[in-house]
Amino acid sequence: MNLFGGAFAWILDPAHWSAGPDISGHLLEHLAVSGLCVLIAVAIALPIGIGIGHSGRGRGAAILISNIARALPTLGLLSILILLFGIGLLPITVVLVILAIPPMLAGAYAGVESVDRQTIDAARALGMTEWQIVLRVEIPLALPLLIGGLRATALQVIATLGIASAFAFGGLGIYLINGLAQADFVQLLAGAILITALALVVDGLLAAVQRLVVPHGVALGRSNPNDPQKRARAPRPRAVQEGMQS
Amino acid sequence: MIEFREVSKTYPDGTRAVEDFSLVIPARRITVLVGSSGSGKTTLMRMINRMVDPSSGTVEIDGRDISKIEPVRLRRGIGYVMQNSGLLPHRTVAENIATVPRLSGVSRADARKRALAMMDTVGLVRTLADRYPSQLSGGQQQRVGVARGLAIDPNILLMDEPFSAVDPIVRAELQQEVLRLQKELAKTIVFVSHDIDEAFLLGDEVVVLEQGGRIVQQGAPEQILAEPANDFVATFIGADRGKRRLTISDAASRGDDRVLVDAGGYPVGVIAAPGGRLAVGHPSPKSRSISNKTDQAGDA
Ligand SMILES: Nc1ncnc2c1ncn2[C@@H]1O[C@H](COP(=O)(O)OP(=O)(O)O)[C@@H](O)[C@H]1O
Ligand SMILES: [Mg+2]
């Protein structure tokens, strides 16, 4: 308790919020680098995942590649990249993007796969093009699971950046490294608390978004026990986790 | 007019769903493809809007080989109503009905106007326009499906067992609605059903199918009833069970009407017999649809 009290006092100490590279600076840095990595991961994984979900092809390959990406030792890979490119933004970004792709990919294809096949078939029979099916039917209905994938991705990146940044970059991980190096456990714990808090806040915000994007008609259907189509849809965030582990 | 010429379909898994099928479907009438499950009805119907392409043979619409028409364009010109409505769950009733007009570039406001008009046509109150499919009953959902199929005023309307998932009373209502609409709109309707009573009620032309899309008999309901082509048809239409063989009961009667009973002794209707003589007539489809209204509701 003493240690925790000390850590919170350390965080709240105005001196740590004003001088030079202070907490807010590291926080912003952490957020910016995480955001960049998540953005790149989304740009790569979202179209591929949606493509897999839409076509039903390439799922096996995606799972294989995801498993390989997850099995890579993050810190080992980071060390190699630092040796190759030097300390800086590039190595950390590469490592985090590799880490961030699997959950985003899983969220994307699980989301699109969860859309009722008959709904898609009907859309096609009406004369929608494949693009229109993706944009007007599959993505709107998959959105809750897509955001679920984004949540998992953001959590992964924010947490890992806390550890990895100690090697190569600033961010909140700096307090972990300094704390360890100086045997300053108050600072170490303060760093851990800050990273956890940031992760929780981001996750909370995305959870709120996830609830907001459930299409109105689908949300109504869930609360209507008489709805005959209900079983076919009702995507639940859990499916994302299942998809990630498969 | 829709023409199948020696059409076969083998699915990638080797299932031979349709073999050497030829049929001319007349314009502006209701043709019912009727057969038991797996006889290839859905496959045949989906060849008309290229949701399925034949493995061999051709399908023509008004003399044009449809394999030369781009599928998306073809589908936007053909109404399609499916068994479980296939409505988009994230769109309102009006938006669902307006889907195809919107795809074809009709403005939002015009498409909504048209959707509301279509709701009138199929007997949906306009207050449902901004509801979502999940808030409607099964029967209402099917009406929305029909309205959506008709929204672009297509010449051809495909209906694949559209009422088989709703309860019998609502089904009877919807069947009457189809007859009423057809009187107004005179579309080329291809209707798939596994229910011979529904086929006889709705069909100007009824095509009885066996496995592999083999045509066992084809003709007006009266013809098929009068002369079942073989035992299969006789069994299928229930003639062998005495369901169709009616006798005039001498028991109950009121005025000049006489009660008809089937072979099991169940009363099925009354027949006009002025002065003790049976009246022979040829009721037009119009009178058939009206007189059947009460019968169907009673069946339920
Ligand atoms: N996509 C498909 N792949 C493989 N077999 C199919 C497919 N669709 C239908 N079939 C098979 O083709 C046959 C005819 O099916 P279908 O046209 O749906 O008949 P119906 O509508 O009369 O029940 C059935 O044996 C069915 O299992
Ligand atoms: Mg079928």
Report the pLDDT value the prediction gives residue A1, as an integer from 0 to 100: 56
Whether pLDDT at A229 is above 80: no
Whether pLDDT at A85 is above 90: no
The residue of chain B nearest to residue A128, with distances taken between CA atoms, is B72
B138 pLDDT band, cuts 50/70/90, is very high
Q: Does B51 touch chain A (CB under 8 A)?
A: yes
Give the tens place of pLDDT for each residue, B205-222: 999 999 999 999 999 999
Report the pLDDT value the prediction gives residue B22, as an integer from 0 to 100: 98
Whether pLDDT at A232 is above 90: no
A224 alpha-carbon distance from chain centroid: 32
Instruction: Write the DSSP string, B43-74.
Output: HHHHHHTTSS--SEEEEEETTEEGGGS-HHHH
Report the pLDDT value the prediction gives residue B14, as an integer from 0 to 100: 95
- Chain B residues whose CB is inside 8 A of the A127 CB are 72-77, 100, 103
Contact at CB, A221 and B89, closer than 8 angstroms: yes
Whether pLDDT at A245 is above 70: no
Report the pLDDT value the prediction gives residue A168, as an integer from 0 to 100: 60
The SS3 of residue B253 is: strand
- Chain B residues whose CB is inside 8 A of the A224 CB are 134-135
B252 pLDDT band, cuts 50/70/90, is low
Contact at CB, A217 and B92, closer than 8 angstroms: yes
Chain B nearest-CA distance from A164, in A, is: 42
Whether pLDDT at A241 is above 70: no
Report the pLDDT value the prediction gives residue B256, as an integer from 0 to 100: 74
A130 pLDDT band, cuts 50/70/90, is very high
Report the pLDDT value the prediction gives residue A242, as an integer from 0 to 100: 40
Helix (H) or strand (E) run with residue A137 in it: none
- Chain A residues whose CB is inside 8 A of the B82 CB are 118, 121-122, 125
| Superfamily covering domain A17-245 | MetI-like (1.10.3720.10)
Report the pLDDT value the prediction gives residue A19, as an integer from 0 to 100: 65
Q: Does B171 touch chain A (CB under 8 A)?
A: no
List the single range of A110-119, A120-129, B53-62, B258-267 with lowest mean pLDDT.
B258-267
The residue of chain A nearest to residue B99, with distances taken between CA atoms, is A126
CA angle B225, B227, B233 (to 5 degrees): 70
Whether B157 contacts B118, CB under 8 Å: no
Contact at CB, A228 and B148, closer than 8 angstroms: no
- Chain B residues whose CB is inside 8 A of the A227 CB are 134
Whether pLDDT at B292 is above 70: no
The whole-model pTM stands at 0.84
Whether B207 contacts B40, CB under 8 Å: no
Domain ranges of chain B: 2-239+290-294, 247-280
Report the pLDDT value the prediction gives residue B139, as an integer from 0 to 100: 94
Report the pLDDT value the prediction gives residue A166, as an integer from 0 to 100: 65
Contact at CB, A119 and B82, closer than 8 angstroms: no
Report the pLDDT value the prediction gives residue B114, as an integer from 0 to 100: 95
The residue of chain A nearest to residue B46, with distances taken between CA atoms, is A125
The SS3 of residue B286 is: helix
Whether B14 is in the pocket of ligand 1, judged by its Cβ within 6 Å, is: no
Using CA positions, which residue lies closest to atom 18 of ligand 1?
B42
Mean pLDDT of all residues in A24-31? 88
In order of A67, A68, B147, B194, B254, the CA distances from B163 in angstroms are: 47, 50, 14, 11, 36
Report the pLDDT value the prediction gives residue B197, as an integer from 0 to 100: 92
Whether pLDDT at B287 is above 70: no
Contact at CB, A141 and B132, closer than 8 angstroms: no
Report the pLDDT value the prediction gives residue B290, as an integer from 0 to 100: 39
Give the tens place of pLDDT for each residue, B177-193: 999 999 999 999 999 99
Whether B41 is in the pocket of ligand 1, judged by its Cβ within 6 Å, is: yes
Report the pLDDT value the prediction gives residue B300, as an integer from 0 to 100: 30
Amino acid identity, position B259: V
The residue of chain B nearest to residue A121, with distances taken between CA atoms, is B86
For ligand 2, the distance from its centroid to the CA atom of residue A229, given in whole angstroms, is 18
Which of A152, A177, A180, A156 has its CA nearest to residue A165?
A177
Contact at CB, B134 and A218, closer than 8 angstroms: yes
Q: Does B12 touch chain A (CB under 8 A)?
A: no
Classify residue B107 by burial, with Cβ atoms within 10 Å: 0-12, 13-18, 19+: exposed
Q: Does B76 touch chain A (CB under 8 A)?
A: yes
Spatial distance between the Cα atoms of B134 and B96, rounded to a whole number of angstroms: 12
Instruction: Note the ligand closest to the C-alpha atom of B162.
Output: 2
Chain B nearest-CA distance from A56, in A, is: 16
CATH class entry, domain B2-239+290-294 = alpha beta
Whether pLDDT at B297 is above 90: no
Give the tens place of pLDDT for each residue, A192-208: 999 999 999 999 999 99
Query: Which tokens go with A172?
Result: 């909140």
Whether pLDDT at A36 is above 80: yes
Spatial distance between the Cα atoms of A243 and A102, rounded to a whole number of angstroms: 10
Mean pLDDT, all residues of chain A:
85
List the single range of A166-170, B42-46, B93-97, B115-119 with lowest mean pLDDT.
A166-170
